Structure 1
Amino acid sequence: MSLLQALPSPDISSAVILCVVVVSLAHLVPYFVDPHGIHSYPGPFLAKFSDIWLGWTAAQGHRSERVHELHKKYGTFVRIAPNHLSISDPDALQVVYAHGNGTLKSEFYDAFVSIQRGLFNTRSRPDHARKRKIVSHIFSQKSVLEFEPNIRLHLTTLFKQWDRLCEGGLKSLSGDEGEGGWKGRDGRVWFDCLPWYNYLAFDIIGDLAFGAPFGMLIACKDSAPVATSQKDAIASYGQECKSKFDYFPAVQRFNTPTDRADLLGKLQEGRDEEGRPMGREELTAEALTQLIAGSDTTSNSSCALTYHLARNQDVQEKLQRELDDELGGEDDPVPTYEQVKRLPYLEAVINEALRIHSTSGIGLPRLVPAGGLIVCGREFPEGTVLSVPTYTIHRDPAIWGEDTEAFRPERWFEADKVAVQKTFNPFSFGPRSCVGRNLASLELLVIVASIFRRYHFVLEDPNADLETREGFLRKPLECRVGMMRRNV
């Protein structure tokens, strides 16, 4: 074949050149026209022209850390996409996510839609207002307290298995040493605690959101492949049937009245302003949301708490002294919420863990509405995407002190309470904040108090960092610890 024959035809070459020109113009024209008025803001060079930088950074699993480094380099305002500005000022929280400012969730949330839009991923203000009215009463403090017996029941099951671990009588059922662990000469059982927190969280939320637990704690393993996708989470838990909703086991409850106090029952009872209940698809979508939101968040936070307490022995011992003083005469291994809800050091420990390891650390993107928005003295036109990175404002030295990477619960007694209140953002802020924060708070208080009253933990490697990978949530990869029963 001659060189001339090997060359692409003029038609193909022209098409390739035209494609390159069109793609280039699609990125360059908006940059020079600058419709969002953010041309002058600093950031990665590629981010000025394309979403590729942000997409690639997110795919690496460390978006929050990378954006944080950019803010340390450039300051308060950083351009992370052609129309997206990250603002690392706590005052911006009160504007970007506030009631009545008209901002909307961006197209970022389209990726989370399954079956139909739920409370979390709907971008319509009227639709969100309707759904929130139905769902919010379910997570009122009064309603959440009705779920406490379920939570305490599953913690008791966890303790039966962990006690067997400590006694050397429980072996892994999956063939993975991480679940079963091994007992050393020091009397501790050494294992990865992350899978166990997954079992606990999924059994609790399965019980509340579906009407029955997944049975992971009893099986001592992941007995349902629930983590692959929202659809798979339900499909794996149910059974094969003709309709795509028939494998949702709680569907049996559509036509079977029950007085059981759980999330599903309360979702079925919910009504909007016109007295209409949720339909089957809408109910299923909301139950899916509760499964995803109520499982990984609890397990991630519990794991991070265990890591930081195991690494900081003085903090763990101080917490255990408080628990011993307050619960010393209590025989039940799982204290009630009423017994632990006002323990100051316990609350400080949990808050410090949520500060340093917010399960959602990224800046949640919001679209500026018609008429524009003024944030931190800067004006932004309609269509600009703004976000406030939780990971970064939780490390603002002006609020938290210079040792922001240290796990030090004492800072919660020292810091300016007003400044802390407007900066601490583990559940987001405003009308789109986490509707389940009351349930999350109850779970963490009871879980942490119960576990650290009963067991003592050390890290397998005292110098090990808590490795994470971030999608929407910052998920620990493992947490290898040595555990021993305490004499209580």
Structure 2
Amino acid sequence: MELSISLLLIGAFLPLWAALYWVLPYLTAYRHLKNIPGPFVAKFSNIWLALGARQGQKFAWVDYAHRKYGKVVRVGYNHVSIATPEGLATVYAHGNGFLKDHFYEAFVSGVPGVFNVRDRREHTRKRKIIAHAFSPAAVQDFEPHMAANLRRWVGQLDKIASHPTESGFAKMNMMPWCTFLAFDIIGDLAFGAPFGMVERGRDECPAEVAGKGITYVSGAETLNRRGEVSSTLGLLLPIRPYAKLLPDPFFHKGLQSVQNLHGIAVVAVEKRLDATEKGTLGEKQRHDILGMLCRAKDWDGKPMPQDELISEALTQLIAGSDTVSNTACAVIYWILDGERRNPGKIISRLQAELDAAIPADADIAEHFQVKNLRFLRQCIDEGMRLHSTSAIGLPRIVTDKLGVSYQDQHFPQGTVLSVPSFTIHHDAEVWGDDVEVFNPDRWLNLTPRQKIGFNPFSYGPRACVGQNVAHMELALIIATAFHRYDFILYQHKLMSSEGFSKKPDECWVGIKRRQQDGQKI
């Protein structure tokens, strides 16, 4: 009897609770957004957007909403997505004073890093310390570390290419090998030594795991799960403290990955600091990111404490491995897809440019040889546009007491705004009717809207601080790959899933060493 009464009370209370929690704010606090179109559920909560994140397809869900409802769409109870190049200046420009949304709190492990810190003054302090490590002059000092890992990479690709099928090409999935290379390079730059993924041909990194001590975990898989769960919980922050209790294993495994990823950074930083203290690095002053962070001082002349070093090194690991690996793989795919659709129009032109700049007997490209190659840069930019590794709209909170206006819509203080890069990069009104086609020559005559709308590294004061490193890595990887090898493409579509960044699921290609004057390059 008592149980029946309790169930009746719960049944009566739940609709009331739902009305108070979701409907009342819709009718009161957020009524200024009621005329903005969007999915019905999104008018009351972030659940619609969180479901897209849970499926690894938030970028696609938002893109669908814009195609259905227009350029300005309500994607959450207090969140509006603006899918125009002009929206970038409104939401991300210098001087607007917007804050990163609370969404970023779900990405913090340890202390906040430059990526997820929300306080503007603290971000300015961190960026001042970090920025000098990514200046063009500093980046040039990173090339020897990149080159050593790139040579190990081509050594492994040579072995794969030496076992061809009847077609003359060896079959391989390029995605994991791009991941191994990007992880090893950023490990070398951010922690002082590569993780050894290329050499082992496996996705594994040493990490400090609670209850297990130092053990090996899957670096890329850990990073992917961390991105997926953090992107989902960032939209559902009230349930974050209880997420590990949810029956969906997605949350438990994802939260464990957050801990494992932090553990990777802990082990790598402690190993580097220990080697520095003991003088066993073999160099008086190693030119890499962690070395610069260790030597840097803040406004008060104080060095970074170790917990902050770990967070910043972790930021570099995430940004430097995930974005470069995803983008490199996607650029290779789109170059090959462009060649498949226009035989003789893409690869022969790219290889002619590379052959004129890189000696035939060179095993890898050097940056001075390729940094100014025009067609190479066009191919990379077009691949970044089509894939859009940073695909989601990065949410910002309007902080001005007077609010902000976009076209005829006014957004008061507290509104969350974002601009989805994937949707802008695939907008036919901006890029033309061939928007879904790999056309590197579109970069020869960009319109003003195209220049504004190309947004692979975000925009404004919170734009990616490491984009100089990313451009350098991508130029070296793509140039080396297409100078040394011939490829054919085995798959008809590049499928992707999204955590914080968008990652190709796989990229199956055929590979063989190139021939020049009867000799292998």
TM-score by length of 2: 0.85
1:266 aligns with 2:292: yes
Say if 2:326 is the partner of 1:331: no
Displacement after TM superposition at 1:167 (Å): 1.7
Match of 2:277? 255
Structure 2 letter corresponding to 1:324: D
Structure 2: distance between partners of 1:246 and 1:194:
24
Of all paired residues, the percent bearing the same amino acid is 43
Matched letter for residue 335 of structure 2: L
Alignment-mate amino acid for residue 294 of structure 2:
Q
Match of 1:188 among 164, 169, 191: 169
CA contact (8 A) 2:191 2:268 kept: no
Quick check: 2:191–2:269 contact (8 Å CA) kept in 1?
no
Q: Does residue 393 in structure 1 map to residue 427 in structure 2?
A: no
Q: CA deviation at 1:337?
A: 1.2
Give the whole-Å Cα distance in 2 for the aligned partners of 1:470 and 1:366. Answer: 20
Question: Which one of 492, 498, 502 corresponds to residue 474 of structure 1?
Answer: 502
Structure 1 residue 306, shift from structure 2 partner: 1.4
The question of whether the paired residues in 2 share the 8 Å contact of 1:92 and 1:376 is answered with: no
Query: Deviation at 1:246?
Result: 8.8
Instruction: Give the partner amino acid of 2:512.
Output: M
CA RMSD, 1 decimal: 1.8
Query: Match for residue 179 of structure 1?
Result: none
CA distance in 1, matches of 2:79, 2:289: 36
Q: After the TM superposition, which residues 166-315 of structure 1 pair with which residues of structure 2 at under 5 Å, given as runs?
A: 166-168=161-163, 183-224=164-205, 225-227=218-220, 228=222, 229-233=257-261, 235=263, 248-253=270-275, 255-256=277-278, 258-313=284-339, 314-315=345-346
Provide the aligned length of Structure 1 versus Structure 2.
459
Deviations 1:130-174 (A, max 9, x none): 000000111011101100111111111111111122223xxxxxx
CA distance in 1, matches of 2:72, 2:142: 42
Instruction: Give, in whole Å, the separation in 2 of the partners of 1:33 and 1:459.
Output: 55
Match of 2:30 in 1: 35
Say if 1:448 and 1:414 are closer, same or farther in 2 by CA, change over 3 A.
same
One-letter amino acid of the structure 1 residue matched with residue 368 of structure 2: E
Distance in 2, Cα, partners of 1:133 & 1:148: 23
Partner of 1:176: none
Q: Letter of the aligned partner of 2:194 in structure 1?
A: P
- In the aligned structure 2, how far is the partner of 1:398 from the partner of 1:310? 26
Checking the alignment, whether the CA contact within 8 Å between 1:235 and 1:248 is kept in structure 2 is no
* Residue aligning to 1:426: 456
| Counterpart AA for 1:340 | V
**Paired residues of 2:182 and 2:321 also in contact (CA < 8 A):** yes
Which protein is richer in helix relative to its size? 2
Does residue 1:91 correspond to 2:122, yes or no? no
- SS at structure 2 position matched to 1:23: helix
Distance 1:215 1:41 in 2: 51
The answer to whether 1:74 aligns with 2:105 is no
Amino acid at match of 1:383: G
Within 2, Cα distance between the matches of 1:247 and 1:449? 31
State the match for 1:376 in structure 2.
407
Query: Contact 2:337–2:438 (CA<8 Å) still a contact in 1?
Result: no
Residues 54-203 of structure 1 correspond to what in structure 2 (within 5 A)? 54-168=49-163, 183-203=164-184
Q: Separation in 2 of the partners of 1:412 and 1:308? A: 15
> What is residue 394 of structure 2 aligned with on the other side?
364
Give the Å deviation of 1:33: 1.5
1:62·1:470 contact (CA, 8 Å) conserved in 2?
yes
In structure 1, C-alpha distance between the alignment counterparts of 2:268 and 2:188, rounded to whole Å: 18
What letter is aligned with 2:476?
Answer: V
- CA 1:51/1:322 → structure 2, altered by over 3 Å: closer, same or farther? same
In the superposition, relative to structure 1, how do residues 432 and 152 fare at CA in structure 2: closer, same or farther (>3 Å)? same
- 1:404 counterpart residue number: 435
**Native 8 Å contact 2:377 2:475 kept in 1:** yes
User: 1:152-202: per-residue Cα shift (whole Å, max 9, x none)?
Assistant: 11111111111122223xxxxxxxxxxxxxx31122110111111111011
Structure 1 residues 64 and 402, CA, compared in 2 at 3 Å: closer, same or farther? same
1:365/1:387 contact within 8 Å kept: yes
What is the alpha-carbon distance in structure 2 between the residues aligned to residue 434 and residue 246 of structure 1? 23
**1:247-297, Cα deviation, whole Å (9 max, x unpaired):** 842231563564011111001111112111110000010001111110011
TM-score by length of 1: 0.90
> Which of these residues, 493, 498, 504, is aligned with residue 465 of structure 1?
493
Task: Report SS of the residue matched to 1:410.
Answer: helix
Measure, in 1, the Cα distance between the counterparts of 2:485 and 2:268: 42
Shift of 1:310: 2.1
Which blocks of at least 5 consecutive residues in structure 2 are unaligned? Answer: 206-217, 223-256, 340-344, 516-520
* Whole-angstrom distance in 2 between the partners of 1:158 and 1:118: 30
Which letter maps to 1:356?
L
For residues 395-435 of structure 1, the C-alpha deviation after alignment (integer angstroms, 9 at most, x for no partner) is: 2223211111111111111332x332211100000111100
8 A Cα contact 2:162 2:512, kept in partner: no
Tell me how far 1:75 sits from its aligned partner: 1.2
Residue type matched to 1:472 in 2? Answer: F
What CA distance in whole angstroms lies between the structure 1 residues aligned with 2:332 and 2:364? 17
Q: Does the C-alpha gap of structure 1 residues 433 and 247 become closer, same or farther in structure 2, counting only changes over 3 Å?
A: closer
The answer on whether the counterparts of 1:309 and 1:316 sit within 8 Å (CA) in structure 2 is yes
* Alignment correspondent of 1:172: none
Residues in 2 aligned to 1:419 and 1:427: alpha-carbon distance in whole angstroms: 17
| Residue 245 of structure 2: aligned partner | none
Q: Please give the secondary structure, in 2, of the residue aligned with 1:362.
A: coil
Give how far 1:84 is off. 0.3
Change (3 A) 1:326 1:123: same
Contact 2:335–2:383 (CA<8 Å) still a contact in 1?
no
Aligned residue for 2:476? 446
2: CA distance between counterparts of 1:101 and 1:215? Answer: 43
Matched to 1:294, the amino acid is G
Q: Secondary structure at the match of 2:440?
A: coil
Counterpart for residue 413 of structure 1: 444
Contact between 1:455 and 1:485, CA under 8 Å: does it hold in 2?
Answer: yes
The code of the aligned residue for 1:474 comes to K
